Amino acid sequence: MKPLKNITGFFFSLRTTLWSLFLLVAMFLAGAFIMPAREEFQTIHSAPFSQWLARQPLSVTWWLWCSLGILLILTVNTLFCSIESIVKKRKGTNLLLLISPQVIHIVFLFILFAHLLSSAGGLSVVAAANEGTMFGISAENDFLRIRDISIFASPDGYISDWEVNIEYLSGQGVILTDKIKPNQPSLQMGLNVNVKDITARPYKAVLLQISKDPGASWALAGGILFTIGIVTLIIFRMKTERISSRSTSLPHKP
């Protein structure tokens, strides 16, 4: 029983949180210097992250593998500590103050899950195209065609706006039409179709990016939850925390 107690004690401990965060910062710091120096990272967005990672030599990705291990520990630790906190303080008077930090912890898990989904199933393809170009976008004979490209320039020659009209086609012909504008991608058929670059000369052309990011909705849900959690936390924490009362207002953790 003692090894089990040791393991649960490890995952319930705030010390584990601190060490995990410290080691994660250390790994990311190492990565921050390795990443710009190694050309392997130039291709990081060319395939789903998990596939890219599996193909790269360990000598350049060791910090990412270590980070994944630490994040796994941190995930279990976050779950354990959040449950423990709710159980211990459930008789407290202020429910919102009790759950708002846990909401933020859940958001952290949402974001990790979003990254997991994106790294497993995300894809991104980039291709140059002009008016009339057609791409296959699925195995079921679905196509995407650039109908027309409009570019608007300011009097001093800068591109001030642009608009790309596209059509989705299947065997029966055009099934729907859509418009891509700056910060307004076409979000149809589970794809994000956007324009990475655009030019008017020598002829109107675009660098079209077709991507799929299955983690995006989880990340967005996490972002919305975070906003709710943090507003609640700040309002209630500021009310309850006395400025110089660290020793009286904070729990004594092992």
Partner 1 sequence: MLLLALSFGAYLFSLVKKPFLYIGLILQTAYIISRGFSLGRLPLVGPHDTIAFLSASLIAFSIPFSVILKKQPLFHNGLAITASAFTVFSLISKQNNAPLPPVLKTLWFESHVVLAFLSYALFGIAAILGYFYLREKDDNAEGLQYRAILIGYCLFTLSIVFGGVWAYLAWGTYWLWTPKELWTSILWLFYGLHLHARLRQWWTDRMLAYLGIAGFAVVLFTYLGVSLLMKSSHSF
* Interaction site with partner 1 (CB under 8 A): 14-15, 17-18, 21-22, 24-25, 28-29, 31-32, 35-36, 41, 44-45, 49, 114-115, 118, 122, 124, 154, 156, 158-162, 182-185, 192-194, 196, 209-211, 213, 215-216, 219-220, 222-223, 226-227, 230, 233-234, 237-238, 241-247, 250-253
Instruction: Please say which residue, 174 or 228, places its beta carbon nearer to partner 1.
Output: 228
Alpha-helical (H) ranges within 89-168 are 95-121
Nearest distance in Å: CB 98, partner 1: 15
Radius of gyration of the CA atoms of the chain, in A: 25
What φ, ψ does residue 252 adopt, rounded to 5°? Answer: -90, 110
Chain centroid to CA 37: 24
Instruction: Please say which residue, 175 or 230, places its beta carbon nearer to partner 1.
Output: 230
Nearest distance in Å: CB 62, partner 1: 15
Nearest distance in Å: CB 122, partner 1: 7
Instruction: Please say which residue, 59 or 172, places its beta carbon nearer to partner 1.
Output: 59
Q: What kind and span of H or E run contains 205?
A: strand 205-212
Nearest distance in Å: CB 213, partner 1: 5
Nearest distance in Å: CB 175, partner 1: 21
Alpha-helical (H) ranges within the chain are 2-12, 14-37, 49-55, 58-88, 95-121, 216-240, 246-249
Residue found by looking up tokens 């994040």 in the block: 71
Q: What is the C-alpha separation between 158 and 152, in angstroms, rounded? A: 9
Instruction: Please say which residue, 174 or 234, places its beta carbon nearer to partner 1.
Output: 234
